[in-house]
Structure 1
Amino acid sequence: MLFSLIQSDDVWILWAFLAGWAAVSIYLEQKYAWASKVSGAIIALVGAMLLANLNVIPIESPVYDTVWNYVVPLAIPLLLFQSNLLRIWKESRRLLFMFFLSAIGTVAGAVIGFFLLKDFIPALDEIAGMMTGSYIGGSVNLAALSAKFDTPSELISSAVVADNMMMALYFLVLMVIPALKFFRKHFKTPHVNEVEEWSGNEEGNLAAAYWKGKEISLQDIGIAVGTAFTLVAISFTLADWFAGVIPAGEQESFLFNALNGLFGDPYLMLTTITVLAVTVFSGFFEKINGAQEIGTYLIYIFFVVIGVPASLPLILQNAPLLFVLVFIMVGLNMIISFALGKMFKFNLEDVIVASNANIGGPTTAAAMAISKGWSKLVAPILIVGTLGYIIGNYIGSVIGFWFSTF
């Protein structure tokens, strides 16, 4: 592990940085027009990336794991309190198709990258299979497939470093795209337009207008946070139970593995139970103020954490060719996603969140939608992206097996 001014076990200092920098990012976004156009999410991510590469903060810490394990799960239900199942299903079907189109780009990138680099990177068949799964579902797939292929640990760590750097850079690109005239000219942008219209087309600061103050009582905060904890507890407990009851593994049938992945995934279970609860008890959830604000702040902390592992020295030291591989895969995912998205007349926002869900998983895609104010896409992309966990594992396994024959 690289030296850093702040050590990985400086828990309170790191929490102060994560929470403080998230707050600074939100403040800048709502205070200055330039920051509003860049977005607070990018400010949060880039700030963490710079400090990590300057060795001010560590690239690994139990504090970061806590954000992944506890902060993100709490943010998800809070951000789904206004979701309606009937509207979500109507919007998710088309988004699922775009997600599959984007996955074609990932597979194409894996094939091209493998044949270009197979003579230079050891065990590239396993790494390409791992990264295919990761870039269709998320880092959960990378962990699962690395265990399946029994990949050497030093190669896994190098792949993770390259993956984190590439994801951070790609998220920056996706964040900027909606502001570019070229993409606004060639794609429909209903969600961007809605945010701008809702904000009164103000030239000054759309973020401040979107997140303007509203009445929030102590009761609202208590009910919102308490309900979120309850939903997470029920969902994760149920998912653990299903994962233990439904058999899974290489010896089991496709059906059992699929059912285990479907019902045993805590994020899919959390999304499903939350949306069902919100649909059945819509009157209760609609009366809660402040849930979106609390959930969004937690997601900004998550954005800070995303930028931390993107260590340039580790890339140059351990994984320069692996970075080339992931660059090819992400680049082709982007090109094919936007090309096919244009061909099938998808909205720009659909293409962006679908590509993001492929590369980073449902949480990063939902976080991007939240930071942009595309509230109607949050629940659909969480559902679609979580299903990518299952799809990615199978496609990654097939790709890895195929490449092993060369």
Structure 2
Amino acid sequence: MVIGAFIAKDDTWTLWAIIIVWATMSLFLEQRYQWASTISGAIIALVGAMLLSNFKVIPTSSPVYDTVWDYIVPLSIPLLLFSSNIMKIWRESRRLLIIFLIASIGTMLGTTVAFLTLHQWIPFLSKIGAMMTGSYIGGGVNFAALSSKFETPSDMISSAVVADNSVMALYFMLLIAMPSLPWIKNYFLTDYKKDVSRESRQSYWQPKKIQLLDIAFSVASAIALVAISFKAAELIQQWVPKSNLILTLIVSFFGDSYLLLTTLTLIVVAIWGDFFEKLAGATEIGTFLIYIFFVVIGTPASFATIITTAPLLFIFVIIILIFNLGLSLVVGKLFNFKIEEILLASNATAGGPTTAAALAIGKGWSGLVGPILIIGTLGYVIGNYAGTFMYQILTYIV
């Protein structure tokens, strides 16, 4: 006899309350306590939901969870892209942009090698590889978008999140330690002195002023972009025939709702850059929505599945990061990039702009905080394209 969960799957308000409260608690713990920051709020969100579902407190499936996949995830994409003005990126941060793109290529090479090495033992690895490519060029928003797009089994998504965040914690420690290593000092250029005053850190991370209109414009713009993109993609799929290669490519690109959403948001932000640059709160709202996603992907996850699949995914992720950092160091050395630029670019691809900014602040590289935040947000833009491309490549390989 199968025993149902204590909370029914159609108990909508209770499930929404649990999801949102736990996402909030995950953020609170991550920002308040060092141990939580080390393991990351994403892991706390996911593991908490796993415990609740595995111990039959909440159901493993519900229309509420479907709503998160269908509406919350798409809505988070434009909110997190509003700070990604590619015109500004090119003008202000060209040097960091180049090494960032090199690190992104390293991610793609590493994903390919890791896939060829492990695809016989890990199911759905082409989908996971595409998701990790998007995540290790952009961030959680790309991981969420590609997970939804490829309809990857939720237990495999949870295993990937566990492996990703666990390895990233160790990787971040490595990046912090590397500038002090003797061989790094001997072989790489550097011109930054350590300046980690409490005042400089606090002035950067201080709360931002957000007005009601900022929230209104952010949410309204995001919803409008999602509605237009998804409807346009649907019409393109219906109306454009796939009678030749060119039309097939057009449908594959513009008929993909997530790629079209990314592209349309990118164009809108480039045209009305001043408006979106002054719009406060969009990134914070988008990040909170991603944490809601992390809670939901933990609900159908089985502890047994994660125990059996996560160790191999640890190896998979480590291979990706080895190629990411390795290629960045080699090319950076050849073209005289400073070690600070190399490490921040690798950090921005693997961990996103926020962790890269945290590294810059923590090491006293104050002049690179703003540029790496700008460059890091570019990953949100190209992550979905790169992940989709990698899925096609990995599927073709096998």
Corresponding residue number in structure 2 for 1:178? 172
User: What is the aligned counterpart of 1:285 among 266, 276, 285?
Assistant: 276
Q: Contact 2:269–2:276 at 8 Å: present in 1 too?
A: yes
User: What is the aligned counterpart of 1:267 among 258, 261, 285?
Assistant: 258
User: What is the aligned counterpart of 1:101 among 99, 106, 111?
Assistant: 106
Q: Contact 1:45–1:307 at 8 Å: present in 2 too?
A: yes
d(CA) in 2 for partners of 1:270 and 1:306? 22
Corresponding residue number in structure 1 for 2:388? 390
d(CA) in 1 for partners of 2:97 and 2:167? 24
> Given the alignment of the two structures, is residue 15 of structure 1 paired with residue 7 of structure 2, yes or no?
no
* Gap change, CA 1:199 and 1:62, over 3 Å in 2: farther
Tell me the alpha carbon deviations over residues 152-205 of structure 1, each in whole angstroms, 9 at most, x when there is no partner.
xxxx85xx53453133321232145324443564689xxxx9xx9697355xxx
d(CA) in 2 for partners of 1:53 and 1:183? 40
d(CA) in 2 for partners of 1:342 and 1:114? 27
Q: CA deviation at 1:305?
A: 2.8
**Which letter does structure 1 place at the counterpart of 2:117?**
I
Q: Contact 1:59–1:309 at 8 Å: present in 2 too?
A: yes
d(CA) in 1 for partners of 2:197 and 2:232? 39
* Gap change, CA 1:34 and 1:10, over 3 Å in 2: same
Q: CA deviation at 1:55?
A: 4.0
Q: Contact 1:37–1:179 at 8 Å: present in 2 too?
A: no
d(CA) in 2 for partners of 1:324 and 1:130? 18
* Gap change, CA 1:2 and 1:396, over 3 Å in 2: farther
Tell me the alpha carbon deviations over residues 40-67 of structure 1, each in whole angstroms, 9 at most, x when there is no partner.
4443334334434444333433322322
Corresponding residue number in structure 1 for 2:324? 337
Q: Contact 2:145–2:384 at 8 Å: present in 1 too?
A: no
Secondary structure, aligned partner of 2:17: helix
* Gap change, CA 1:296 and 1:141, over 3 Å in 2: closer
Corresponding residue number in structure 2 for 1:67? 68
d(CA) in 2 for partners of 1:145 and 1:292? 25
d(CA) in 2 for partners of 1:327 and 1:306? 19
Q: CA deviation at 1:144?
A: 7.9
* Gap change, CA 1:261 and 1:44, over 3 Å in 2: same
Q: Contact 2:102–2:327 at 8 Å: present in 1 too?
A: no
Q: Contact 1:175–1:368 at 8 Å: present in 2 too?
A: no
The 5-angstrom pairing of residues 21-32 of structure 1 reads 21-32=22-33
**Which letter does structure 2 place at the counterpart of 1:9?**
D
**Which letter does structure 1 place at the counterpart of 2:217?**
I
Provide structure 1 residue ranges, at least 5 long, that are not aligned to the other structure: 147-155, 357-364, 401-406
d(CA) in 2 for partners of 1:337 and 1:88? 21
Q: Contact 1:45–1:305 at 8 Å: present in 2 too?
A: yes
The 5-angstrom pairing of residues 57-136 of structure 1 reads 57-88=58-89, 90=94, 94-114=99-119, 127=124, 129=126, 132-133=129-130, 135-136=132-133
Corresponding residue number in structure 1 for 2:342? 347
Q: Contact 2:167–2:314 at 8 Å: present in 1 too?
A: no
Tell me the alpha carbon deviations over residues 123-160 of structure 1, each in whole angstroms, 9 at most, x when there is no partner.
x7xx55555555545687788889xxxxxxxxx85xx5
d(CA) in 2 for partners of 1:228 and 1:54? 36
d(CA) in 2 for partners of 1:42 and 1:21? 12
* Gap change, CA 1:88 and 1:256, over 3 Å in 2: farther
Secondary structure, aligned partner of 1:344: helix
Q: Contact 2:347–2:356 at 8 Å: present in 1 too?
A: no
> Given the alignment of the two structures, is residue 225 of structure 1 paired with residue 223 of structure 2, yes or no?
no
**Which letter does structure 1 place at the counterpart of 2:397?**
I
Provide structure 2 residue ranges, at least 5 long, that are not aligned to the other structure: 135-142, 186-191, 333-340, 360-368
Indicate the larger mover: 97-106 or 368-377: 368-377
d(CA) in 2 for partners of 1:140 and 1:80? 13
Tell me the alpha carbon deviations over residues 89-131 of structure 1, each in whole angstroms, 9 at most, x when there is no partner.
556665444333222222222322356x5xxx9xx7xx55555
Please, what TM-score do these two structures have when normalized by structure 2? 0.71
d(CA) in 2 for partners of 1:167 and 1:3? 27
**Which letter does structure 2 place at the counterpart of 1:112?**
T
Once the two structures are aligned, what percentage of the paired residues are identical? Answer: 35
**Which letter does structure 2 place at the counterpart of 1:329?**
F
Corresponding residue number in structure 2 for 1:235? 229
d(CA) in 1 for partners of 2:282 and 2:146? 30
Q: CA deviation at 1:395?
A: 0.9
Tell me the alpha carbon deviations over residues 236-272 of structure 1, each in whole angstroms, 9 at most, x when there is no partner.
2222233334445xx853x444433322222222222
Q: Contact 1:83–1:275 at 8 Å: present in 2 too?
A: yes
